[in-house]
Copies of this chain bind each other. A is one copy, B any other.
Amino acid sequence: MNNKGNILYAQSGGPTSVINSSAYGVIMEASLRNEEIEKIYVGKNGIQGILDETLIEIDPKDKNLELLKQTPGAAFGSCRLMLDESNKTIFKKIEKVFAKYNIKYFAYNGGNDSMDTVMKLSRYFSSNNIDVKVIGIPKTIDNDLKGTDHTPGFGSAAKYIASCVSCIAYDAKAYSKGRVNVIEIMGRDTGWLTASSSLANLSKNGPDLIYVPEVPFDTSDFLKKVKKIYDKKKYAIVCVSEGIKDKNGNFIGESGQKDAFGHAQLGGVATYLANLITQKLNIKTRGIELSLAQRSASFFSSKTDVQEAISCGREAVKALLNNKTGFMIGMRRKEGNKYEIEYTLEDIDKIGGQIKYLPSEYIAPNNIKSSFIKYVSPLVKGEVKLKTKNGVIKFYNL
């Protein structure tokens, strides 16, 4: 009797520094389970690759797979395709491809839009009595997924952001008369990443002001605060989320473009505010956008984050082989002072398409409370020993 099935892994949504560590976890765990799993496939460009039938078999003995742990982006390609349940053709097509490749286990790695896909696919397979299990592996630098203490990708982004902000803050005080540096950090809806800049205060060189999307932004109050700090220190560090909005809900840095999901494409709020300060207060400024390096600086990942991302991948395979479907792997922080994580199965219906905001208990006026440090600090701990060639980081290339 050959009850063996094949496993498929695919990536979706915005890349992170550690999504490929989850891929590594899936592949390594699956390779241990060869009594149940015959072949390991990856889908190129997420669900789009499945529709296009670009499934690639992976040899788990390939030594280069080790490099996945330090490869940013999405090694197998990503997509932003969302499934519409009224479009039966697309589900039929996926069913057909899965049958053709004998896919019984599907692990989908992504953020809240991707968990929506996990929900819809698992519902489709279950309600049609098709023997395919679907599990979601969390991933987003934004840390805005429900059902988990935090998301893989967040810790590394937070580590890079806090390190950059502390170095920029130290650099900024070099001259007796400096500038106001406005640093723009990713976060369309939530302030988790921008809040992480407060970690830089542990180095005694952190932001003077922090603004997150959870609190309406008041421009005139902002200018008053900046002036007060600059008059005293002769320089200032301001960290703002790209998604800060005024009290009417209008983005401060709106550029007018929209992405494939119809979300507004932001960027430019740092430049906007820097120019405003120069105009209104006659102070020299610099607008700094941390940009793509925030989500891709795998040369300086958090070791904790990499290890947890691998574990999430491994846990997904275990869940699939336990015939679980329609769940996302979650991380729960154990009680007590020592940081320890247990992995959970979270009902996917309660996750897809939702947003976990930065709790108000962490938010102070124009700043972040020090209680947030206790939450975020364990997530950024540890540096990864890099594999390099001629001083340059090595990547896994498909």
Q: Per a CB cutoff under 8 Å, which of B11, B203, B288 touches A393?
A: B203
Write out, one digit per residue, whether chain A residues 199-226 have a CB within 8 A of any chain B CB (1) or not (0). 1101111000000000000000000000
Question: Which residues of chain B are near A372, meaning CB under 8 Å?
Answer: none
Q: Are B383 and A163 in contact (CB under 8 A)?
A: no
Given A77-B176, A176-B45, A203-B392, residue A164 in contact with residue B293 (CB < 8 A): yes
**Closest B residue by C-beta to A20:** B170
Given A48-B176, A393-B203, A72:B170 Cβ within 8 A: yes
Tell me, in angstroms, the Cα distance from A15 to B391 when the chains sit together. Answer: 23
**CB <8 Å contact, B176 and A79:** yes
CB distance from A217 to the nearest CB of B (A): 22
Q: How many copies does the complex hold?
A: 2
Closest to A169 in B: B73
Interface size on A, as a range, is 35 or more
Residues on B with beta carbons closer than 8 Å to the beta carbon of A164: 293, 297
User: A175, A298, A389 — which one has the most chain B CB atoms within 10 A of its CB?
Assistant: A175
**Given the known A-B contacts A171-B72, A175-B80, A296-B171, are A166 and B393 also in contact in the complex, defined by CB atoms under 8 Å?**
yes
B297 touches A163 (CB 8 A): yes
30 example contacts (A-B, Cβ-Cβ < 8 A) are as follows A15-B171, A17-B167, A45-B176, A48-B176, A72-B167, A73-B171, A73-B172, A73-B174, A77-B175, A78-B175, A162-B391, A163-B297, A166-B393, A166-B395, A167-B296, A168-B296, A171-B292, A171-B296, A203-B394, A203-B395, A204-B395, A205-B395, A286-B292, A288-B291, A289-B289, A293-B293, A377-B390, A380-B392, A382-B391, A383-B385
Using a CB–CB cutoff of 8 Å, the interface residues on chain A facing chain B are 11, 15, 17, 45, 48, 71-74, 77-80, 159, 162-164, 166-168, 170-176, 181, 199-200, 202-205, 267, 271, 286, 288-293, 295-300, 302, 373, 377-383, 385-386, 388-395, 397
